[in-house]
Amino acid sequence: MSKSYQHYTESWREKNPDWQYIRWSEQTMFPMYNQEMFMWTLDDPVRTNTLRSTLARFEILHRYGGLWFDPQMECLNPFDLDLSVKGFIVPESASVIGAQANADFLWETVVRLKQDKHALNNDSLAAWHLYHAVLSHDEVVKMPVCKFFPHDTKGNVRCDLSQALTTYHW
């Protein structure tokens, strides 16, 4: 993980000290359904890591449940969400996802990614596949964007920060 992101990761521990945190790596990963894609190396190391992170998040959450957040996400306030729901997403994003183990919408996303060879070259396809898998799952809560992304891509505040749980450092 980039040293510039360590502060953001620490913000999660500070705001939610009772949670269990797991930092996944190639050494701690289990064999995945999308293992062949996971092992591909793209022309750019950053794109390779992004692809692997994208593939891993859905399989990890499907297997174990929990909360996934990208390392660029800073926790602003303690989480007071009901994490006992089957799952939650933020529409148009795969940067923060919460789910119980064996959530069907996650497995559908895993399968959709394996079937879509374009997913290797387009990071936004993961969010697209996640969103479309969720369309048939009313039990998945769609969280307000402002709870997790109160700033736009230029850093302008677009929501009440006191109500935000996280922010994304573009």
pLDDT value of residue 1: 63
Kind and range of the H or E element at 106? helix 104-115
Tell which residue, 48, 57, 50, has the closest CA to residue 22: 57
| Domain housing 22 | 3-168
The pTM score is 0.90
3-state helix, strand, coil in the chain (%, to 5): 45, 15, 45
φ, ψ for residue 78 (rounded to 5)? -60, 145
Number of domains in the chain: 1
pLDDT band at 132 (very low <50, low <70, confident <90, very high): very high
Radius of gyration (C-alpha) of the chain in whole angstroms: 15
Edge to edge, the sheet with strand 87-89 lists: 66-69, 96-99, 87-89, 140-142
Query: Any residues with CB less than 8 A from the CB of 53 and at least 6 apart, and which?
Result: 70
Beta strands in the chain (DSSP E): 66-69, 73-75, 87-89, 96-99, 140-142, 166-168
Residue 84 has pLDDT above 80, yes or no: no
For 91-103, what is each residue's pLDDT tens digit?
A: 889 999 999 999 9
Tokens 């793209």 belong to residue: 42
For 53-72, what is each residue's pLDDT tens digit?
A: 889 999 999 999 999 999 99
